[in-house]
């Protein structure tokens, strides 16, 4: 199996401006992501950015960089420009690794690529983790995924899915026994020909309502393969609190043992 990794990295961020270049244990965040990705089985790892500051830093640690337009609405659009500029073959598998996940395990990058390679009918493969608290089920920032018995996505939503009619009441909410809830993890594997199709489709009503771009693919009949991640994936960095937490993890790693 052959695949490449593309890491979209934007400088603009409402909550953390310049996020890819923020320092974590003496290295910019984007370098940590890149170093995790190159430990996977990917043939190539490419940082896709619209900002010369990110490009300069990335080239400083010998990463491959592809400059992209500033007006892309999604990371998927940015990936499509990369594969077009680099003339990737239509059947090449490309894994989108978010640029704000400095602890992404290389094993899950391999997993999602292998899942797409092993499911020829799917246009996308992605991963989920099990949800263990009712608070996360009701958290709109935790995207829930439901799938059929063959691992094909049925829907993604910010709402609690499936809805338990008998236990989800106004007064009390309890996780039902025997029902698994899954949080979607934002790592995707695509085939290049799908990316070329995706950018031709306008955002659909479901995508615009939920603010989830994978729903655009589902609205256009694309099958999405879902599997539970083989390793725990630490949350990405969206806020200063997230950044402080991850910095603390790296600091703990470097502390000498007593």
The tens digit of pLDDT for each residue in 222-243 reads: 999 999 999 998 878 888 888 9
* Nearest Cα residue to 134 out of 96, 95, 173: 173
Contact 119, 113 (CB under 8 A): no
Pull the structure tokens for residue 72. 């892309």
pLDDT of the residue at 250: 86
pLDDT of the residue at 251: 83
Give the residues of the chain that fall short of pLDDT 70. 170-172, 254-258
Contact 48, 8 (CB under 8 A): yes
* 3-class DSSP assignment, residue 43: coil
Termini Cα distance of the chain = 44
pTM, to two decimals = 0.91
pLDDT of the residue at 170: 66
pLDDT of the residue at 37: 97
Query: Is the domain defined by 3-230 classed in CATH 3.90.550.10?
Result: yes
Four-residue CA torsion sign, 30, 127, 136, 158:
positive
Q: What angle do CA 221, 227, 184 make, to 5 degrees?
A: 75
């Amino acid at each position: 199996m052959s695949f490449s990794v593309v890491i979209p990295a934007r400088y603009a961020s409402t909550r953390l401006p310049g996020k890819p270049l923020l320092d974590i244990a003496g290295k910019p965040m984007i370098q940590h992501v890149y170093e995790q990705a190159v430990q996977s089985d990917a043939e190539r790892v490419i940082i896709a950015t619209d900002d010369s500051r990110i490009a300069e830093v990335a080239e400083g640690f010998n990463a491959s960089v592809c400059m992209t337009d500033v007006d892309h609405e999604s990371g998927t659009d940015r990936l499509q420009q990369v594969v077009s500029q680099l003339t990737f073959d239509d059947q090449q598998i490309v894994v989108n690794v978010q640029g704000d996940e400095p602890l992404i395990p290389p094993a899950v990058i391999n997993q999602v690529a292998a899942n797409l390679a092993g499911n020829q009918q799917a246009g996308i493969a992605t991963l989920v983790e099990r949800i263990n608290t009712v608070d996360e089920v009701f958290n709109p920032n935790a995207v829930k995924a439901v799938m059929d018995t063959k691992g094909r996505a049925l829907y993604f939503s910010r709402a609690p899915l499936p809805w338990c009619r008998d236990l989800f009441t106004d007064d009390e909410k309890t996780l039902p026994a025997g029902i698994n809830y899954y949080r979607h993890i934002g790592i995707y594997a695509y085939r290049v020909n799908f990316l070329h199709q995706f950018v031709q489709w306008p955002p659909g009503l479901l995508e615009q309502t939920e603010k989830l771009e994978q729903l655009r693919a589902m609205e256009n009949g694309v099958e999405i393969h879902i599997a539970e991640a083989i390793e725990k994936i630490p949350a990405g960095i969206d806020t200063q609190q997230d950044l402080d937490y991850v910095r603390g993890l790296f600091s703990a790693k470097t502390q000498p043992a007593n």
